């Protein structure tokens, strides 16, 4: 049977129970479960504010839009970002009419602080740090630079639900989580935008529902005769989340830490299984980082051939991500990030999800050791790690 890259696992009974409450009550929209999920997320993360949105992509755009307006940024001002991410990180910069400036990655595949310093100009307003795979990389150093230089720091925490740094949820000026179908806390599509500043959180709440200044749930609950009466203070967006997605989130959240423990256990098995194979480059997790392990990535030569031969053995691996600078829309930036460019040709992501058995993890380990050391390379590891390639 094929071993899949990602398979979401749901607490079906509790998801149905939470969703049923919405249907019984006749309330599937903004409010009710969205309020509860926001409160639960604040408790879980320790972050002061949380606003539930319909995706992390929306959340990233909304975050930039709010900072741009409140900070008086100009069209075309620069945002430092990574080329090794899902395209939505960089699309959000373009949605806001800002200019992405690409910073190379370090050995953790996250923003390299030295390159970040080199790429700051008088037009730089912000940096987006992507915790790739759940990793925190050099987040603290990047945060320190942003403080010194007066830049806003956004954390694209799409892979970081449950990541802790020195025991705590990493804190930026705003963090945006994804609860998309294959993320660590899967719903179907939704996300959370968490501002450090209360005023910005309040603005984002209005802007996520077309700029309307009170939500229907509050209006329906306060018994006022003026339920129809609201003001529109901003040109907002249709970005808020709904109670069905929040209901699923509420049912899933109690499982997040134990799910992530299992992800880390699988990652530790992979790490041990590849530790003596010099043809597999391991990606280090920094000290103090308890990674949510959204991904388990390694670097290999002739990556595409390796992917094909894994597929031939019934193992679906993936690539996170193609260097964004290879896309025509970012062609002007092509040569600015050599390490990201090199790594994007070498990286592959191995199956990592809660339905993987230990035996399947061993099968993946054997297969990747074989594909990288097997007959094609005419060499073996002789310490017992290599298994027969004759099968
Ligand atoms: C998934 C993902 C997003 C977008 O999340 P959605 O909730 O699907 O919009 C943004 N950034 C990264 C790094 C992602 O992996």
Give 263-301 pLDDT, tens digit per residue: 999 999 999 999 999 999 999 999 999 999 999 999 999
**What pLDDT sits at residue 268?**
98
Q: For a substitution probing ligand 1, which of 6, 8, 56, 58 has the most ligand atoms within 8 Å of its CB?
A: 56
Q: For a substitution probing ligand 1, which of 136, 180, 319 has the most ligand atoms within 8 Å of its CB?
A: 180
Reported pTM: 0.94
Q: Which ligand 1 atom is the nearest neighbour of the CA of 59?
A: 9
CA of 157 to the centre of ligand 1 (A): 8
Give the contacts of 77 (CB within 8 A, at least 6 positions apart).
68, 98, 99, 123, 124, 125
CA of 59 to the centre of ligand 1 (A): 10
Q: In CATH, what number does 12-254 get?
A: 3.40.640.10
Give the contacts of 38 (CB within 8 A, at least 6 positions apart).
50, 51, 52, 192
Crossing angle of helices 303-312 and 358-373, in 10° steps, is 130
How far apart CA 153 and CA 363 sit, in angstroms, is 41
Q: For a substitution probing ligand 1, which of 133, 160, 183 has the most ligand atoms within 8 Å of its CB?
A: 183
Q: Which ligand 1 atom is the nearest neighbour of the CA of 183?
A: 1
Residue 126 near residue 64 (C-beta atoms within 8 A)? yes
Read out DSSP for 279-347? TSEEPPPPTTEE---S--EEE-TTHHHHHHHHHHTTB--B-S---GGGSGGGGGGGGG-HHHHHHHHHE
Q: Which CATH number fits domain 256-390: 3.30.70.1880, 3.40.50.620, 3.90.1150.10, 2.60.120.10?
A: 3.90.1150.10
CA of 190 to the centre of ligand 1 (A): 10
Give 235-245 pLDDT, tens digit per residue: 899 999 999 99
CA of 268 to the centre of ligand 1 (A): 25
**What pLDDT sits at residue 233?**
84
The H or E element containing residue 88 is helix 87-95
Which segments of the chain have a pLDDT < 50?
Answer: 378, 380-391
| Sequence ranges of the domains in the chain | 12-254, 256-390
Residue 125 near residue 71 (C-beta atoms within 8 A)? yes
28 exposure class (CB count in 10 Å sphere: 0-12, 13-18, 19+): middle
**What pLDDT sits at residue 216?**
61
CA of 58 to the centre of ligand 1 (A): 10
How far apart CA 70 and CA 228 sit, in angstroms, is 29
Which protein residue's CA is at the shortest distance from atom 5 of ligand 1?
Answer: 56
How far apart CA 193 and CA 205 sit, in angstroms, is 10
CA of 156 to the centre of ligand 1 (A): 8
Give 15-32 pLDDT, tens digit per residue: 999 999 999 999 999 999
**What pLDDT sits at residue 140?**
98
**What pLDDT sits at residue 1?**
87
How far apart CA 35 and CA 40 sit, in angstroms, is 9
CA of 88 to the centre of ligand 1 (A): 6
* Beta-bridge partners for 99: 78
User: What residue ranges line ligand 1, CB within 6 angstroms?
Assistant: 55-57, 85-86, 88-89, 130, 156, 158-159, 178, 180, 191
Q: Which of 12, 384, 10 is nearest to 185 (CA)?
A: 10
Q: Which ligand 1 atom is the nearest neighbour of the CA of 178?
A: 7
């Amino acid at each position: 049977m094929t071993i899949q890259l990602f398979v979401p696992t749901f607490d079906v009974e509790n998801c149905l129970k939470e969703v049923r409450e919405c249907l019984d009550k006749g309330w599937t929209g903004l409010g009710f479960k969205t309020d509860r999920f926001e409160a639960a997320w604040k408790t879980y993360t320790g972050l002061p504010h949380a606003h539930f949105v319909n995706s992390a992509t929306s959340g990233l755009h909304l975050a930039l839009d709010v900072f741009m307006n409140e900070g008086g940024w100009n069209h075309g001002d620069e945002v430092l970002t990574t080329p090794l991410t899902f395209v939505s990180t960089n699309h959000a910069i373009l949605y806001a009419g800002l200019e992405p400036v690409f910073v190379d990655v370090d050995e953790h595949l996250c923003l390299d602080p030295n390159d970040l310093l080199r790429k700051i100009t008088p037009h730089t307003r912000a940096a987006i740090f992507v915790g790739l795979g759940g990793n925190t990389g050099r987040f603290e150093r990047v945060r320190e630079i942003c403080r010194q230089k007066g830049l806003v720091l956004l954390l694209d925490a799409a892979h970081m639900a449950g990541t802790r740094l020195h025991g705590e949820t990493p804190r930026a000026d705003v963090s945006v989580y994804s609860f998309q179908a294959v993320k660590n806390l899967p719903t179907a599509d939704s996300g959370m935008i968490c501002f450090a500043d209360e005023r910005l959180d309040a603005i984002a709440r209005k802007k996520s529902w077309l700029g309307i200044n009170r939500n229907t749930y509050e209006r329906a609950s306060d018994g006022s005769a003026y339920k129809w009466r609201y003001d529109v203070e901003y040109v907002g967006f249709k970005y808020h989340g709904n109670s069905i997605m929040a209901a699923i989130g509420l049912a899933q959240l109690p499982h997040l830490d134990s799910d992530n423990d299992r992800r880390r256990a699988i990652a530790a098995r992979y790490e041990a299984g590849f530790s003596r194979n010099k043809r597999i480059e391991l990606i280090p997790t920094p000290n103090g980082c308890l990674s949510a392990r959204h991904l388990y990535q390694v670097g290999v030569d002739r990556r595409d051939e390796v992917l094909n031969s894994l597929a031939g053995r019934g193992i679906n691996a993936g690539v996170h991500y193609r260097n964004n600078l290879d896309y025509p829309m970012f062609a002007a930036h092509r040569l600015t990030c050599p390490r990201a460019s090199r790594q994007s040709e070498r990286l592959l992501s191995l199956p990592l999800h809660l339905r993987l058995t230990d035996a399947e993890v061993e099968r993946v380990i054997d297969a990747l050791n074989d594909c990288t050391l097997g007959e094609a390379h005419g060499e073996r590891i002789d310490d017992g790690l290599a298994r027969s390639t004759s099968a």
